[in-house]
Each structure stands twice: as C-alpha cells, then as structure tokens.
Structure 1
Amino acid sequence: MSLESLNERSRAIFQQIVETYLETGDPVGSRTISRAEGIGVSPATIRNTMADLEEAGLLAAPHTSAGRIPTDFGLRLFVDGLMEIGNLTKEERAAIKGKCESNGRSVEDLLAEATKALSGLSQCASLIMVPKHDVAVRHIEFVPISPLRSLVVLVSEDGSVENRMVDLPPGMPPSALVQAGNYLSARLVGRSLEEMKGVVAEELENKKAELDAITSRIVKSGLAVWSGSSGSNAPASLLVSGQSNLLGGVEAKEDLERVRRLFDELERKKDLIRLMELAKEGRGVRLFIGAENNLFSLSGSSLVVSPYMNGSNKIVGVLGVIGPTRLNYARIVPMVDYTARVVSRLL
C-alpha cells in the first residue's frame, strides 16, 4: 500500500482522519469528517472509504461501532507523504536557545538544559544520548609521583578533568615527562582522545615523531591507560527529562497501562541507546513509530530524534522526544531539528 495507490478522495479523507485524531486523541467518525472543509461527500460515502482504508491496513476500529484511528503503518504513511511540517514561533526558538545558552558551562549542563527545553515545549519526555569521553581534549600533562610512577592528567574542552596512573621506566629523566606531555598536547587541537591516539600511533610507527626511545615509551603508556574507555567504543549515557508529562491527560485504564510500559522502556536505557544509535548513521530527523520497533510494541510509543555534532562537524550524540504515537509530529519534528542544530552550534 502506498499513497499513490489511493485516489484523491481517499487521500483527503485519510489525511483528515489522521489530523483530527492527532489533535483530539479520539476515534474519528464519518460525521466528523463530513463536516470538515474541503471533503464535500456524504457520511455514507465516507464510511465506505473508511472501510476500504481499514482493509488496506491504514485505519483501525478500537471499539465496535466506534470511529477509526490510524494504525502505526497509517501514521508512517501520513508522516512520510502527507504531513505539512510546521514552523517554530520566535518565542519557541528563543526558549530553546535561551535554555541551552543560559547554563552552558559544560557539555553535561548544556545537554541537560536541552532536554528540559524539549520536554517543556513538547509536553512529552525528552532524551539525549551523551557520548562518553568523545569530546575534544585541551591539554595532557604527566605529573611525577615517584621515580617509577606518574599521574597522567587529561583536561577536556568541556572543562572535565581525568587522572590516571602510569608506570615509568627505571632511570627516566624528568625532562622526558615534560617532552611527552608537550608532544601529546601539540597534537590535541580539535581532536578527541581517540582521534589523537590514531595520529600518534601512526607517527610512532613510521618514526615521524622526534622522540627518543624512553619518551616514546611514556607516550604509549599515557595513551594506553585510556584504551577501551574512550572514543567510538565508549559507552553512551542517556539523559531523560519530563517523564511526568507523559501522565498528562491520562484517564483510561488502558492509557495508564501504556504509560507504565513506556516508563519501563525508559528504565531499560541500554535498549533505547541501541535504538538511538541508529539515528547517528545519517543527518536529519528520524522517526520510530509504534510497533515498527520491537521496543515500543507494547507501549505504542513514538520516538522523534536527530543527531547533533561537535565543533569538528562530527556526529557525537542524538537527542529527541518520546511519547504516545499520537504526537503532534508536525510541531515536534522542527522542534527536535532546531534543538539539535542549536546544540551542535554551541558545541
């Protein structure tokens, strides 16, 4: 089934049903559609068309003699082919920028404020996947602790500081530590630790680095203490904000059960992170609607996400909004897109 296989009247009725459902959350009946501007056909004709759309898998009847609601497949067809993306107001843009810029002392602060801005404006839960140790490094220094031990101090662009202990070769002169620190710091500009490790490894292997044997050994030891805990292999974390918004307007028992299941899914952050990793494969907003993904097969939820980039124009994380499939996609898609662009600019 595709939109091209529907005639003009069927597309108009289908679009009106979906838009009305997304606005009200209630099943839509033929009389409601007949009163809509531009439809111009009788309720009986609309009922026949609705039956055809239901048979095609685009609509479903939740209760006997009730109106129709779009299926997940129907929502996907609507979003991809019929939805008109709205524009954010000046006030909404200002709210997002103001939130993100007001507390941007570190990457964590910036991303936390971005989640609050998204959850507040969307009235849904918002989430941001935060990479670990994938920010650019500003400075690295070796601080001698004893003749055979040194502290390696790593300062990132976001202001975070990490320390590691490293063993030193016997008889090493103090100047070797200074030379090793200067050598690594000179190669850190605009690079994450993982990127720098690749550059240094190539230089050492091809003898391009003007370092003696002892200093080269210290450089390798200093990088080795971060192996397996940085860069592309680093575990991501997930910031979630506004879960209480998901309870707004919940009255029916089945809706409460759906929200409970969504809360369970938010607790299983590893599953959500794996799903959001898919959005890092390309730029732009991506939608996961209901049962299209096994993670949301029980709760009937949708996820609208977009990747964000760092100062090197490299995708480092994903942010977005999660809620019931009855999201205001036309409003939330540009909201997520704009927030991702603001975060990318600030990073």
Structure 2
Amino acid sequence: MTKPVIDPILQSLDMRSREIFRRIVDSYLRDGEPVGSRNLARMLPATLSPATVRNVMSDLEQLGLIYAPHISAGRLPTQQGLRFFVDAFMEIGDLAEDERRTIETQLKATGSGATLEQMLTDASQMLSGLSRGAGLVLATKNEVPLKHIEFIQLDPGRALAIMVSQNGDVENRVVELPAGVTASQLIEASNYLTAHVRGRTLAEAKVEVARRRQETQSALDTLSQELVERGLAVWAGSEAGLPARLIVRGRANLLENLTAQADIELLKHLFEDLETQESMVQLLDLAEAGSGVRIFIGSENKLFSLSGSSLVVAPYRDKDARVIGALGVIGPTRLNYARIVPMVDYTAQLISRLLT
C-alpha cells in the first residue's frame, strides 16, 4: 500500500503535538473511549501539566483532528483525524507468522478440490475471525469460461436455467417463460446456448450471440430465440454487468460492545447497504481503482457513508492479471488498520496465486 503525500497539517505540528495526537488515536483504537488531559499527561514520557496538554488538544481541535463527544469529556479523533493518522503516522508491518500460516493453511486446504465459491466463502469467514470485524468478499460471475447452459421446465410459465462453468461451479436461476413455449423449444434453446457459450465468459457469450443474431433468427423460431436471450440476461443482471455475489461473514462481530441506540441504527444502515446490488458494483469499482490495499474511513466511502463504517479492501486477480473480485474487512472506524491492512493484502495475493 502506497501512502499519499503527507498533509501540510503535519508540518504545522511540533513533536509534542504529534505525540499527544498519536496517544489520543491509539487510545481510541484500543478502547474506543475519549481520553482526557489528565490521563494523557500521565501517559506521556515528558513531564507535561494537564493544562499544557489541554492547550495542545485545543489546537488539535481547531485543526479538525479531534473533538469532544460531550461537554467536559475527553477527546476522540474525527474521521479527518483518523485519515490523517493513517496517512501520516501509521506504520504497517509484516503479517505475524502465525496469522500468515492460518491464512495459507485454510485457503490452500479449501482450494484443494473445492469450488471458487467455497474458497471465497472460507476467505470471508477467515478474515472475520482474524480481524474481529466482518469479512467481505466480492466474486464476479462473468469472468469464468462456461461449459453449458440448459433449461428445465418447472411449470407452464417458469423454467430453471442452469449454468455450469468449466471450473465446476453450478448456478441456478428461475426464468419466466414466453407464453406457449414447448419442451422441444427448451431443448433447442439449451443446445444453441451451449454450443455458443462453451469456452467463453458470460460477457463474451453475450457478444457472440448478439453478433450471430441474424443467424439465430434463421436457425431458431421466435420463442426459442427469446429463451436464448433470457437465458443470458438472467445472469448478466443488466447491461452494466453487475457482479455476482457479495459474501459477508462475521456480522455478529459488529454487534459486539454496541450499547448506544445510535450505533445500532448505524449498523442497520450498514446491513442494508450490504444487501444492495449497487453496493457490489461500487465495491468492485473501489478495488479496481487502486493497485493494492485501500482504506476508506467513514463517510470517505459513499457506499457505507450512512453507517460511518470503515473498509479495508484489496482486489484479487485471475491468471491474466485481470481484477475479478475484491475482499476485505468492514467494521467500526476504530479498526486496527495497521494489523488488518497486511492481512487483507496477503489474503488477496494468496487467492490470486491459487486462481492461476
């Protein structure tokens, strides 16, 4: 992860101000509680009076780096302060050896004979367990070469569309049938689709079928042709090509230590955000925009701005180095960023290697 250019604010802080600011942020990340001038004075290595500390805290508050949640309370970092801390002060070390082994052991064990879905689900669960936040993995659908698509009639108006990829993943969708479709037309549409999707990704198959539209019209009757188009559209989601699945594990971790009703309401907003298809598109966009791990704190990320949550996210890639998904950890703004960033980075790199 590359750090941005250090904010000019850093140049305006002397060593004493920097140390007090760091102590306030460290205390918040550790305990989640405001810290007052008297306690700060006791923490600091230099002998400073509470009055001196209060003066420095006042300057930090003027800069927008800290705030008082209540009158006469201690201070907490603002979202701007947390971003400043992450960019200017946070040192990201290597992943602990035991955590590295845990990630390798679990993913490699899962990857042996497992489907991609199983591996990604385990990755999400593992990130949740290691971070005590919610592990989050986005898996796209349309990048895997397909093997075949077929229709199985459920009742006169509906059929089950089954898509099988070359890596063995099987996905089912219910398709509304055009009025009057017969069993033979379902077979005909299945055969046509399979012939033209085999070895192609979903996006490539859509392009190929569109290119052969005139040929399709002569080879198939109207209802069979409509079935072919519905069979492709049911997975594509829209012309924008929505990603496939958002796998979230460890939501219960986010409920721990929540007592205030306001915090619970924020968490409800987060869970609602995670259920939307739009969130998946935005999450993939966030991951693709950077080459490595990215950190979004609170309202910096429009996706989770209502909940004020923080997100640490990294892309993973296929054998052709194309971004095909993203993974990360989401939680409160007091995530242990220095520990979680290398964890997310290493997991993304390992998954990319397992997919080659």
- For Structure 1 versus Structure 2, the TM-score category normalised by the shorter chain is 0.7 to 0.9
Equivalent residue for 2:51? 44
1:318 counterpart SS class? strand
**For 1:6, which of 1, 12, 28 is the aligned residue?**
12
Kept in 2: contact 1:301–1:322 (CA 8 A): yes
1:311 equivalent to 2:316? Answer no
The reply on whether 1:120 has 2:126 as its aligned counterpart is no
Question: 1:12·1:39 contact (CA, 8 Å) conserved in 2?
Answer: no
Aligned to 1:62: 69
Q: How does 1:88-237 map to 2 (within 5 A)?
A: 88-104=95-111, 105-131=114-140, 133-140=141-148, 154-156=163-165, 157-160=167-170, 185=198, 188=199, 191-198=200-207, 224-230=229-235, 233-237=241-245
Task: Determine the structure 2 residue equivalent to 1:77.
Answer: 84
Alignment counterpart, residue 266 of structure 2, candidates 242, 257, 261: 261
Q: Describe the shift of the 1:197–1:278 C-alpha distance in structure 2 as closer, same or farther (beyond 3 A).
A: closer
Q: Residue 155 and residue 18 in structure 1: after superposition, are their counterparts in 2 closer, same or farther (change >3 A)?
A: same
What do you get for the CA RMSD once the two structures are aligned? 4.0
TM-score (norm 1): 0.76
Q: 1:288 aligns with which of 296, 301, 305?
A: 296
User: Partners of 1:326 and 1:179 in 2: how far apart?
Assistant: 54
Per the TM alignment, residue 75 of structure 1 is displaced from its structure 2 partner at its CA by 0.5
Tell me which residue corresponds to 1:246.
Answer: 254
List gaps (5 residues or longer) in structure 1. 146-150, 206-212
Query: Identity across aligned pairs (percent)?
Result: 41
Structure 2 Cα separation of the partners of residues 141 and 125 of structure 1: 34
Gap change, CA 1:72 and 1:39, over 3 Å in 2: farther
One-letter amino acid of the structure 2 residue matched with residue 60 of structure 1:
Y
| In 2: Cα distance, 1:260 partner to 1:110 partner | 32
Separation of aligned partners in 2, 1:152 and 1:21: 51
Once the two structures are superposed, residues 180-232 of structure 1 have per-residue CA deviations (whole angstroms, 9 ceiling, x without a partner) of 967764xx2xx522135446767x69xxxxxxx859xxxx9997454434466
**Alignment CA distance shift 1:29-1:316 (3 Å):** same
2-structure distance, mates of 1:47, 1:78:
20
Q: Distance in 2 between matches of 1:276 and 1:31?
A: 42
Q: How many residue pairs get matched?
A: 327
User: Residue 60 of structure 1: CA displacement?
Assistant: 0.4
Mean alpha-carbon deviation: is it higher for 25-34 or for 271-280?
Answer: 271-280
* Contact 1:258/1:300, CA 8 A, preserved across alignment: no
Name 2:3's counterpart in structure 1.
none
2:40 aligned with 1:33, yes or no? yes
The residue identity in structure 1 corresponding to 2:66 is: L
Helix, strand or coil at the partner of 2:233: coil
CA distance in 1, matches of 2:282, 2:27: 29
Shift of the 118–8 alpha-carbon distance from structure 1 to 2, 3 Å rule, reads same
Does structure 2 conserve the Cα–Cα contact (< 8 Å) formed by 1:72 and 1:289?
yes
User: Larger deviation: 40-49 or 86-95?
Assistant: 40-49
Is residue 2:351 matched to residue 1:343? yes
Distance 1:178 1:82, change over 3 A: same
Query: Structure 1's 324 and 307: CA in aligned 2 closer, same or farther, altered over 3 A?
Result: same
